[in-house]
Amino acid sequence: MTESEQMEIIHRYLTNAQLLDGIKHVGHYSKHKSYAGAGKGWKETIVPETIYGVRISLAAYIHDLLYSIWAGRSERLRQEADGKFLLAMLDIIESHKFTWGTAWIRRRAARYRAMTYYAAVREHGASSWNK
**Structural domains in the chain (count):** 1
- Residue 54: φ, ψ to 5°: -100, 120
Task: Identify the pLDDT of residue 20.
Answer: 77
Half-sphere exposure of 25 (CA within 13 A, CB side): 15
Nearest to 9 by CA among 44, 46, 43, 56: 56
| Mean pLDDT score, 21-47 | 69
- The distance from CA 69 to its chain's CA centroid, rounded to whole angstroms, is 15
| Mean pLDDT score, 79-87 | 95
34 pLDDT tier (thresholds 50, 70, 90): confident
Q: Which of 17 and 82 is assigned the larger pLDDT?
A: 82
Task: Identify the pLDDT of residue 39.
Answer: 56
Range of the structural domain that residue 120 is part of? 3-129
Dist CA 102 CA 95 (whole Å): 16
15 pLDDT tier (thresholds 50, 70, 90): confident
Report the CATH number that the domain containing residue 35 is assigned in CATH: 1.20.90
Task: Identify the pLDDT of residue 37.
Answer: 65
pLDDT, the chain, mean:
84
| Mean pLDDT score, 103-117 | 92
**What's the CA angle centered on 126, arms 124 and 131, to 5 degrees?**
130
Task: Identify the pLDDT of residue 112.
Answer: 96
